[in-house]
Chains A and B, each alone.
Chain A
Amino acid sequence: MMDQATASPHTAAGKLRLRRYHQARWNEPILFELSRPGQRGILVPPLEPDMRDATGDVLAALPAGLQRLRPPQLPELSQNQVLRHYLRLSQENLGADLNIDVGQGTCTMKYSPKINDQFARHHKIADLHPLQDEETIQGILEIYFRFEQILKEISGMDRFSLQPAAGSAAIYANASIIRAYHLARGAPERDEIITTIFSHPSNAACARTAGFKIITLHPDPSGYPDLAALRASVSTRTAGMLITNPEDTGIFNPRIGEFVEVVHQAGGLCAYDQANANGLLGITRAREAGFDLCHFNLHKTFSSPHGCGGPAVGATGVTRELAAFLPIPVVEFDGSSYHLDYDRPASIGKVGPFLGVAPVVLRSYAWVMSLGAKGLREVAEIAVLNNNYLLAKMLQIPGVSAPYATGKRRIEQVRYSWERLSKETGVHSEEIGLRAADFGVHYWTSHHPHIVPEPCTLEPTESYSKDDLDEYAAILAHVAEEARLDPGLVKTAPHNSTIHTIDHAPLDDPARWAITWRAHLRKNIKRGNPEREP
């Protein structure tokens, strides 16, 4: 057994040792600055002379105006330069694998098993074309079919589509299905969607894009969605409700069944945004609460890595009554083989190309298969235990509070407030996060609007150990202490990051913003002076 003194992250005095972290700082130039004329990063297969003889000069045969006359001004680099550049950038990026990533609440930054990445890169899926003959894609269709059965059991829903390419795309698909349902029933006047302020912004935004008017419910004084406000909002115009539970506060709404009932009574449909499902696997389901639709983010609850912001999948589930509206195609099994069914006249059609993001489906399937029913329940229980443990640690930090539902347990995350600390020190939540980055962890405030003042949302998932959670809480406790002793230190953070405080002003100034290098050269670099502006 390892000596306790070396195994423990604590000092002999019992205080947690903070890391002496410094992120890589390569001062890496922009690729264009590394370019030297004539360098090549890769060679392409040459055109065989026989083919050229047969076709003649295909470019010369192009009509005027269609041939590119001036080559694109792409950088010219050797292969190892390209590799080195991007490896340096990767070192300047704090991936979830490298940090205690509990600071990006609502996003379920859990461990993505490496074996599943190997599956996703396997040539038997990487080299698969989505339009191949069904006989040649039986393996991937079987995985889609099996995973659909798994999601049906986890949610209680009757059918799923895995086509939407992320959570918001699934919310949009649900809004589109709600629209199609009411149109099919001859009720186009139902054009209002109800959501809550603590549901993800996309619930409001996607439904609005689908043409609905949005009614947003605010919490009652205890932090729960306001049932009286819901009752006052429903009418013959109500198309449906898009709601999260637990909301991004981590508080489970025990009256969710009544909410659904109120909307149903008014003739609307209810869609459950299950972005926050990680604490509920095997505990409670969309079906029992009466929902008509739901969606899961496979890159959250089901462990597929976040990829700097995708690729992802938003798995969309519906009851039997709505199955006909799901995007086409769906995967069917006839007892001996799998096939694709496009012949679904009531379908909303395609929400994306082909069958969506197959490697993400594959990873998620493998993840469930590595855990089974008991394992998924363990995921939920430990995610919730971790969250309540971190909650207890956080509340020990002077200046932190967890608004609403006082004394109640939380599910998988908590929206905290630094309001008291901020009032006492002038240090804001965002600044606390930037200082936390100096200790090698990520921290995010919260979605707008900041109904909870000076917020942060922590979601520890099941992936982090007790020691990890102790370390994260110790970092925030340390930063909070710094805010009292030396607020300037916190307000000028980060200090140990790749870069220093950026100048935000040009990013909101049409005269100066530069979204490409060419725009930067044109707008911000003076002609004839290759030096960068300070």
Chain B
Amino acid sequence: MRIHASVGIPVHGPDLENPMKNEEKTVYPYIPNSVPSLKEEMLREVGAESTDDFFQDIPAGLRMQGDMHLPPPLLSEHELKRHVESLLSKNSTACENLSFLGAGCWQHHVPAVCDEINQRSEFLTAYAGEPYDDHGRFQALFEYTSMMGELLNMDVVNVPTYDGYQAAATALRMAARITGRTGILVPRILDGGKLSKLRDYLKPDLEIRCIEHDRQSGGLDGKALRNALSAGTAAVYFENPSYLGFLETGGEPISRAAHACGALCVVGVNPLSLGVLAPPADYGADIVCGDIQPLGMHMQFGGGQAGFIATRDEEKYVMEYPSRLFGITSTRVEGEYGFGDVAYDRTSFALREKGKEWVGTAAALWGITAGVYLSLMGPRGMAEIGEGIMARARYAMIRLGGIRGVTIPFSRFPHFGEFVVDFNGSGKTVAEVNRALLEKGIFGGKALAGEFPELGQSALYSVTEVHTGSDIDRLTRELQEVLA
């Protein structure tokens, strides 16, 4: 392998050979006015000798001397395609193998219509048009929030923020603003990355405290929660399902306890579970948040995440959202729907630092896509997929729990989609198990020792509607072999 001298990156094969041996001026297909005669004509019209004239205000000391040292270009589309595809070919995907990875990004079937819609030029390349030239975007996102509202049994849902991490972080900041308090209680069992995000985002004024789980129920420890709650508590946050897949069955007493001391109940939820599981609002949640990646987004190495935040339709809640909120209204023509920004004057677009946190480009295309997904699935699809995932996960827990040296530590609790597999009794580490599985074309679960040292050699396995009984049986057989 050769290394590109200037930037230290490897150069492969003939793809990166510079095809421009002579100095003939390149006309770039993406740059219409790179045609020399057009460029000259335009320069003449503005009275400039050369494009250098435009940069005269940039002091010489700041000007770059000579060309940047970048890899030689692949000017033809074909060369570019060969190069990029040769890089991509080094990946081995979850679909080319049998994957049980989840932990915040899940392998689900993506309906063809979802891809068809989010590939449309009109949606893919639009940005910030007015409610007139971009009526379609406003309606599609209003419909997305409306379907999420049905799923969540709540009246207000935002235009998506970046991801579930950001949704949780903002939901907690909203709770702090609404209550005027600074204490945030979160479960000890939480995605380590999300906790890291919360610690960064809630600095410097909010204080996070972790609540242990009750070994009997899996849920938050009621006594520990009561002890931690105080007149300074802004919010109690928990998730359903929890990060480790089991369900919090005490949602109602938790929200009651939170409300009793004037705190809000904030719940993170997997929206794909809500065809069969009660929406958090039904057990007292005030703010609900999560990630919509399971609703029609390919995994994309984690690039399909998008966050939602939902509340009741009360002014004190609505006015604390940083995000765009699209509302329906009428036009001057009877029977015509129009859309626009609700309470725009709370945003940083309107008020800079006096707005609520900030708003900007986030993940709108995935909101439109999730809307397509929910409209395809309907209530029956959501019920069937929810039940199917729960049953497959339960089946996998039964099968894997039967392997010698393996236990399923929380198997007595109800789960949605994910569960912990404990290899401590097998004499093998998760890394060793996963290495052996990888050789058989299987991606084992995420190792948990980094986030939860007390779980030792345990891994988080994810099962979805894409897994068949024979997939799970195969995993069982291979694990038996690996651990024999």
Contact = CB atoms under 8 A, between A and B. Distances in A.
A323 interface: no
B81 A115 contact: yes
A299 to B, nearest CB: 6
Interface in B42-59: 42-43, 45-46, 48, 51, 53-59
B48 A166 contact: no
B75 to A, nearest CB: 7
B105 A131 contact: yes
Interface in A431-467: 433-434, 437, 442, 444, 447-449, 462-466
A442 to B, nearest CB: 5
A128 B31 contact: no
A463 to B, nearest CB: 7
B267 to A, nearest CB: 12
B84 A311 contact: no
Contacts of B378: 39-41, 74-77
B33 A466 contact: yes
Contact of A462 (B31, B327, B348): B31
Contacts of A30: 139, 142-143, 146, 328, 337
Contacts of B120: 87, 90, 95
Contacts of A503: 329-332, 338
A376 B64 CA distance: 13
Interface residues of B, number: 222
Interface in B330-344: 330-344
A385 interface: yes
A94 B70 contact: no
Interface stretch (B123-131, B207-215, B223-231, B421-429): B123-131
A382 B91 contact: no
A85 B330 CA distance: 20
Interface string A105-136: 00101111101011111111111111111011
Interface stretch (A12-20, A283-291, A474-482): A283-291
B277 interface: yes
A68 B348 contact: no
Interface stretch (A3-11, A148-156, A230-238, A418-426): A148-156
B275 A179 contact: no
Contact of B73 (A349, A351, A372): A372
Contacts of B104: 353-354
Nearest to A147: B9
Contacts of A358: 300-303
Nearest to A284: B62
Contacts of B335: 27, 532, 534
A137 B301 contact: yes
Given A350-B193, A359-B303, A518-B155, A132 B200 contact: no
Interface stretch (B179-187, B257-265, B389-397): B389-397
B452 interface: no
A85 to B, nearest CB: 8
Contact of B383 (A28, A71, A204, A365): A71
Nearest to A24: B136
A302 to B, nearest CB: 12
A110 B72 CA distance: 22
B404 interface: no
A97 B125 contact: yes
A508 B343 contact: yes
Interface string A64-105: 011111011111110100110111111111111111010010
**Which of A251, A502, A513 has the most C-beta atoms of chain B within 10 angstroms of its own C-beta?**
A502
Interface string B104-145: 110101010101111111111111111111111101111101
Contacts of B361: 166-168, 297, 299, 306, 309-310, 312
A288 B196 contact: no
A205 interface: yes
A373 B67 contact: yes
B356 to A, nearest CB: 9
Given A374-B26, A442-B129, A520-B328, A79 B113 contact: yes
Nearest to B95: A127
B410 interface: no
Contacts of A127: 93-96, 107, 298-299
Nearest to B39: A385
Contacts of B26: 374-375, 378
B372 interface: yes
B190 interface: no
Contact of B7 (A152, A288, A522): A152
B446 to A, nearest CB: 5
Nearest to A115: B77
A23 B122 CA distance: 12
Given A252-B58, A385-B54, A376 B68 contact: yes
A373 B120 CA distance: 31
A266 interface: no
Interface size grouping (class) on chain A? 35 or more
Contact of B251 (A65, A386, A444, A501): A65
Contacts of A279: 54
Interface string A138-166: 11101101100110111000000000011
Contacts of A208: 353
Nearest to B413: A63
Contacts of A31: 143, 146-147, 371, 375
B355 interface: yes
A15 B318 CA distance: 51
A205 B353 contact: yes
Contacts of A69: 278
A254 B59 contact: yes
Contacts of B383: 68, 71
Interface string B180-206: 000000000000011011011101110
B64 A98 contact: no
Contacts of A71: 275, 379-380, 382-383
A50 to B, nearest CB: 6
A515 interface: yes
Contact of B338 (A176, A353, A355, A502): A502
A506 B126 CA distance: 26
Nearest to A41: B376
B46 to A, nearest CB: 5
B454 interface: no
B39 to A, nearest CB: 7
B377 A149 contact: no
A209 B31 CA distance: 39
B165 A353 contact: yes
A517 to B, nearest CB: 4
A132 B165 contact: no
B7 A153 contact: yes
A228 interface: no
Given A125-B300, A353-B104, A90 B117 contact: yes
A529 interface: no
B313 interface: yes
Contacts of A113: 30
Contacts of A285: 62, 64
Contacts of B125: 95-97, 112, 305-307
A339 interface: no
A328 B302 CA distance: 15
Contacts of A391: 46
Contacts of B139: 28, 30, 89, 92
Given A312-B361, A352-B163, A378-B34, A98 B122 contact: yes
A444 B145 CA distance: 25
Nearest to A338: B90
A500 B331 contact: yes
Contact of A95 (B124, B390, B394): B124
7 contacts: A48-B469, A72-B153, A146-B71, A204-B352, A288-B64, A466-B32, A508-B345
Given A68-B383, A93-B129, A128-B93, 13 more contacts: A40-B381, A44-B465, A58-B394, A66-B249, A72-B379, A92-B135, A140-B91, A154-B68, A166-B162, A284-B64, A357-B303, A370-B77, A517-B328
Q: Which 3 pairs show the lowest CB-CB distances between chains A and B?
A: A372-B73, A354-B302, A93-B136
